[in-house]
Structure 1
């Protein structure tokens, strides 16, 4: 089939989109294409996710019930765990995890295994797009060789390959998948043209770049930018606290400057799938070309150490109550890595749990978005742990309450009444503290 025929099928919306991985990236992407009338088939090894999509049961809270019901009742959308059906899709968009291993190096296991599976079912004229965050060169040096070896086909001649990094911001009401411009790099001009045409059907804007490694570098650059700036304000928080200056007041005032300043806010550490991980993908790749990444690594060191600073502030707070951390009961407010979502990937709250327990504390958590901790790759030991009940009696039973994530649903005025030892890492108590009660900022 010629490229013009493929483009014509996209325009006529008979071009079927296949999405591999139906999590925080893949599920919104499925919905985005479906809304524009494109036929979609989703693939996932997790049968529960597949069943939930096909029955309309929500499993990502902020995406809502209405979306799931519409997907379930659609005659142009379905989900399956049968990967032998990969050849039914005209495009295969891979949205699988790219974590770090124990040495803080890229773990490409999910990408490699998924690509091998795709190669076994790959047919002529299919378009394969990697959306997972990765290091520059992944598509050309890893993906294409696996696809060609497993299928016996030739990239650029028999099938198309592109890279387009996900840019999801879970829970952001202003920018959903359809409203975020899509950076696209292709393995050749035909692949670039086909991938851009596909995304143009559902995304507000496509941003073509010269090749796949450039697109891969764009994603890393975006999140390294955030990591470095968050590290800066985290360091300023510690410095200003030692001087008796409120860093949040400083940032609020600095943020009134209409040019030359971009406000970032400090916290207890980095969370989410991208920002804590992406810098390490570049530093790993940079070693191959003998280039140092001192600035990026320093930012990573600062952000990684923030949970230890929270522990230190907790020790100081408990000391004012003539209590030790060892043997104290600590409640962590917020397990999700950011406000108002149920996404706990790489959440710094998990690191805080570990550190408090190492110091001999008894640790619980409260999060209205995560009533029970699901099994995760990094924190399997916490699977099944349940969120604490929100009540005066329960809150008063804790020696210290630590605000790790500032969900809007949390009643901070009640918290101010019920707890006399609050450690606030998010400036959540700014408006809620009463009667001059001291809140320890961390």
Structure 2
């Protein structure tokens, strides 16, 4: 079959790489793709948000399966449009994708069904939000309601920072229409973990637990980014945490979405905070995480096309999903200044021969005059597998040392929390 992957980042490069391994896939297209994806798929100059353009392409080129990477086209209803045209597409419907598209909706459903999460309040008036913060104090977390590319969440350690966040989101419109409504919630403490799961709306099958590194700098300092690295498996996700996550969070949420008339099929992503009392939900996302997808897909043994077809045919519970008994680590190389303003067009050197069991997934790259150049904030995801977390970390950073572009910055501590737990 011919497969179309929608998106152009590191997650989509990992999806292209994994889908290509299926013996049933004859050709892979990616829209819009990037310079690295272009080596593994035919890149099509259609933006991920151009649902009509993607639909026209899929119909004309007899695409047998479309796999959606980013959240924006899901929230724009790409799945509904493709299914109405009789095309197979993997991802949640527009109504189901609102679990990520609206933090307010997500919190309201969790509150209604008793799914453990932080206490919260919702505001449409910045003055009321500011008054609430002055009354309840800090630390707290201030979130834009809508999609903000992973950057609309501000952890405010003091009252002044929280009030600045309200101004930034609601008054300065730093995240555009995403900031029309605001969520202020208690700041949870503990250790974060990402649980991605496959679901056909009935069965819920978790993937290997991973841990994202959201802050820009080492030791979880600096502003939130789209993610500066990830590793899997995450030792914080113990058997007890797994049991509680399935029984109290993932299965109840999928059932809740069904009850709300928002039947959920695809990948559901729970960002959790784990403390001595167990896991609580920080956020839900409606797709593979980025960069979590890179190490997780590297460890997936089962044919991804087989899994997707089982989901589309509502028989996920009938198949076995296998994982490699290894660990994987992804270190994101970012442009200088990211997640703030940054320059593009920097020539990338050292991409050849990253080493054994290492893949360099491209995120923000382009081809120019025979060179690969930077074209985004997150540029590359250097991803390595190993027999355990320490060996995967060692391989990933050995590959990172071979790569260079002007202004390149990255975290030096991806996986450190795992090493501390493994001690």
Larger proportion of helix: 1
What TM-score range do you get, normalising by the shorter chain? Answer: under 0.3
Larger proportion of strand: 2
Structure with the larger RCO, 1 or 2 (CA within 8 Å, 6+ apart):
2
When normalised by structure 2's length, the TM-score is 0.26
Greater C-alpha radius of gyration: 1
When normalised by structure 1's length, the TM-score is 0.25
